[in-house]
Structure formats: C-alpha cells, structure tokens
Amino acid sequence: MPETMIDIADLWKNFGALAVLRGISLRVERGSVVAIIGPSGSGKSTLLRCVNLLEDPDRGRIRVGGREMRFGAGLRSRHSDRELSAFRAATGMVFQHFNLFPHMTAIGNVMAGPSIVKRMARHEAAEIARALLAKVGLADKADSYPSQLSGGQRQRVAIARALAMNPSVMLCDEVTSALDPELVGEVLAVIEQLAEEGMTMIIVTHEVAFAHEVADLVAFMSDGVIVESGPPGQVLEHPENPHTRAFLARFHRFMGSFPGPG
Amino acid sequence: MTGTRYAWDFSFLWSYRGLILTGLGVTIAYTIGTILLGLVVGLVTGLLRLWKNVLVTAPLVAYVEIFRCTPLLVQIVWFYYALPVVLGIDIPAHVAATLVLSLYTGAFYAEIIRGGVASIERGQWDAARAIGMRRAQVMRHVVLPQAIKRMIPPFMNQSIIQLKNTSLVSTIAVADLLYQGTIITAATYRPLEVYTMVAVIYFFVLFPLTLAAQHVERRLARSD
C-alpha cells in the first residue's frame, strides 16, 4: 500500500467574513504529483500556504511526512515559532513571484537554508548549493544577484533554494504565472525532472497541459472546495462537474475533447 | 538714506574665537550625543512598533506623535520649566536639553526604522519562513539588511537637521554656538555680524555633510 506523504483533513480558513477554504481534504502519496487547478480566488494558493503554515488554518489537520499539526477550537493556542519553523523546514515552497533575497547572490540564496536554519558550515552549504544550481542549469550564475537574472533563472534559483533544505515535499504556487511565455518551459522542465525523480509535490497551476502531463492526480477547486478530483485524463478530458467544465472550456486545446457547458 | 549705511566689521569676532570654538564644540557634542541616544530610543521604539499588540504599540504611537507634532522649542521649554514643577524635582538645563533632543529625534528615527522594516515585501518573509527561518533569523538575515539600506538616506537627513535643532537649547542657557553668539552680541552690540558668523559656521559644517548624504544616497540607489 502506498504511503501517504501529505494528509490534509477537513481544512477550513476564513479571512474575516470570507470563507476561503471550506473543508478541504486531500491525500498525496509519496512520490506522486497533485495538480490543483481552478479559477482565481478559489482558494488554491491559500490551501498551499496553509500546508506550509504560512497561513494559520481555522480548523482541520495537516500531516506532512511524520509531522502533524491540528487546528481548531480548543487548539487555538498558537503553535510556537520553533514548531512552525521546524515544520516549514521540511516542506519546500516555491512562489509565483520567486521572492529571492535581493541582497544575496544566487548561491547565497540557495545556501541560506542550510547555513542559517541548519547551521551547516559555509563550505558544506556552498557545496550543496553549487550542486543544486547545477541541477537547475545555473552553475554559471552562482555569483549573480537576482536583479541580474531573468525571471526563469530567478525561479530556478528559488527552486534550488527550496531543495537545499532537502524537503520531503515541494509546494509550487503558480510558479510560471509571473514569467514571460518564452521562459515558462525552462521552469516547467525543472519541475518535471523533480517529478520524475520521485519528489512528492502539490502544484497549483494555470498550465493545464502541464498538469495533464506531470500530475498523477488533478484536483479542481472552486469557492474553497475541491469539487472534482481524479486522474488527469478523467478530470481534464471528461470533467463531470459543471464548474470544471466551464473552467476548462476556456483552454481551447481541450475544446475538442468535451462539450462546453450549456 | 542719510548716510547711515551700516558699516560691516567682522574683525572684532577674532577676539571671541575661544568662545565661538567652545560653542561649536558644545553644538557638535549635543548633536552627536543626542543622535546616538535618539538612535537607541528610535531603534527600540521603531521595532516595538511592529508588534501586533495594541497595548505595546499605543503608548509608542502616542510618544512618537506627541514629539513629532509639537514644536521642539515648546518641548525644550516645557521639559526645563514645567516638568520640574510637575515632578517636584530639579532638572538641570543640560539634562533637559539632552533628554528633549534625544526623544525628539528618536521619534523621527522610530518612524524611519519602522517604515524601513515595514517596506520589505511580505514575500520576503514568506520565502524566509518557508525555508524554516525563525522570526529573529528572518529579521537579522533577510529583512534588516534590506531595510537598513532604505533607512540610511532619511536617517542622514534627519541627523543633519538635528545639528540645527540643537541651536534651540540656547533658549535654556545651554552654552552652544548660538548661545555664545547672544553673549557676544550682548557685549558688542553687533548682532548682524555675530549672527551672520553663526550662520556661516553652521553652513560650513552642514554643507559637506549634505553632499556626503547625497553621494551615499546615489550609491545606494545604483546598487539596487
């Protein structure tokens, strides 16, 4: 039986009066890739941020690897800074806007986790960072500052930075949405390579074709709920939920494979 | 005009050079001393202002706004004349002067520091937290190095203004450059020459500093 790497159970999150997540449950097996698609404002990014505890869920349970966090009434006593940091350290995250540290070079960014969080010796951290930069095809950009890199290069450094913590899972939040079209491919290639190497990932994406190719499971979110999930061939080609159909109808490469809504 | 053109004569000032230099020394000492003390006050206030707890921030906001929104001259007079009455203790002029100048500039520094830290995008916090950094580590390794760069130009401007602000302590008989000017005026009845000289000295101290500040500002802007 496959091992569940990420287990999200009945997760709720409100921003003020706005219910952003309304009882999300999702399991991700070790080594599998789950793609979350859905319209803007459906709660995809918030879900991902909750898995990494960058947002504090109102209710529910999140387990990543062997660490579990519970949220809800009676458990409102906030988790300590130390607990949260330890949890996040094991969960890699890549952001839409890269969020590289502009005052550090590419290698400095990648080294930040090992040297500051893990307190690894500098030369050791540098060795790891160099290997990871090579892995994402940027060995020659180690000493460049983020401002000297293209969007695609920045995002690849950001991926290397997340990998440097040797995370058990990776969370990718619309990692190509801020990129010029011609730079999307180089980033997706790195993500695809990670998937092939067996990295457990949740990917929030607008790249439906990419989701189809790389994901083992596609979940469609709408209004804070996963309305439909299943293998990509099923959800993307033969969606059953009307919201999923309406959403996918906008991606014309799939237009031929199923009738639009109405 | 009936031939009463004012005859400018600066030569008498030479005999007062000792007094003038002492005054300048006092001015510079107050400037540097209150900048350093103000920096401590501003650092503590500015960083505590980032706390989410209103019980912490409310008194600090009150302090900052009271000092920023009332005239420095009034603050000096109040600390020297009114506060001793309220507290029933004696406050020497130099203590009152140091206290007010430090608290005054500290209020401005606090805003510069708070604003600098707050100006760092949330994404920087997210990314640093996501790789497992503790709050203090994010501050030290990610936020402050970027924020300090943004704080330097306004900090330098505020500090330059502080040198001029110290002249107000002459009103409570602290023997700074301006105060010595009034002493010399009282002895010579030549206020035009004396105050012109005072202005020229302030200018020659401050002008190079403003040039240096501009230079630093340009260099920081380039390295962004």
pLDDT at A261 over 60: no
Q: Is a pLDDT exceeding 80 seen at residue A134?
A: yes
Q: What is the pLDDT of residue A249?
A: 85
**Mean pLDDT, rounded, for A141-165:** 96
Q: Is B148 on the interface with A (CB under 8 A)?
A: no
Structure tokens at B44: 């503590």
d(CA B63, CA B48): 13
What would the pLDDT profile of A66-106 be if each residue is shown by its tens digit? Answer: 899 999 876 655 788 888 999 999 999 999 999 999 999 99
| Total CB pairs under 8 A between chain A and B | 71
Confidence band of A255 (pLDDT split at 50, 70, 90):
very low
Q: Which of B130, B135, B141 sits opposite A93 (nearest CB)?
A: B130
Work out the minimum CA distance from A161 to partner chain B, whole angstroms: 8
Nearest to A113 among B126, B131, B224 (CB): B131
DSSP code per residue over B161-178: HHHHHGGGGGGGT---HH
pLDDT for res A259: 46
Q: CA B103 to CA B45: how far, in whole Å?
A: 11
Which residues have a Cβ under 8 Å from the Cβ of A61 and sit 6 or more positions away? A7, A8, A9, A10, A11, A68, A69, A70, A71
Provide mean pLDDT across the span A148-165.
97
The ipTM estimated for the assembled molecules is 0.90
pTM above 0.80? yes
CA dist B170 and B172 (Å) reads: 5
CB contact under 8 A, B124 and A101: yes
The CA-based dihedral angle spanning residues B143, B55, B71, B110, taken in that order and rounded to the nearest 10 degrees:
-10
Does position A198 have pLDDT exceeding 70, yes or no? Answer: yes
Q: What average pLDDT does range B17-24 have in this prediction?
A: 95
**pLDDT value at position A253?**
53
Q: Is the pLDDT of residue A258 over 80?
A: no
Alpha helix ranges (H) inside chain A: 44-51, 81-89, 106-112, 122-135, 151-163, 181-196, 208-214, 232-237, 242-248
Contact at CB, B131 and A81, closer than 8 angstroms: no
B interface mutation test: which of A81, A109, A111, A202 has the most B CBs within 10 A?
A81
Residue found by looking up tokens 């921030």 in the block = B57
Collect all residues with Cβ–Cβ distance below 8 Å to A198 and sequence separation of at least 6. A30, A31
* B52–A contact, CB cutoff 8 A: no
pLDDT 10s digits, B155-202: 999 999 999 999 999 999 999 999 999 999 999 999 999 999 999 999
What's residue A74's pLDDT? Answer: 67
Whole-number average pLDDT of chain B:
93
Which residue among B126, B135, B137 sits closest to A116, beta carbon to beta carbon? Answer: B137
Identify the closest residue of chain A to B138 by CA–CA distance: A116
Chain A contact for B142 (CB, 8 A cutoff)? yes
Q: What is the mean pLDDT of residues A188-213?
A: 94
- How far apart are alpha carbons A169 and A194 in whole angstroms? 11
Which pLDDT band holds residue B52 (cuts at 50, 70, 90)? confident
Q: Which residues on chain A are in Cβ contact (under 8 Å) with B129? A: 54, 84-85, 88
Tens-digit pLDDT profile for residues B55-98: 999 999 999 999 999 999 999 999 999 999 999 999 999 999 99
DSSP secondary-structure letter at A2? P
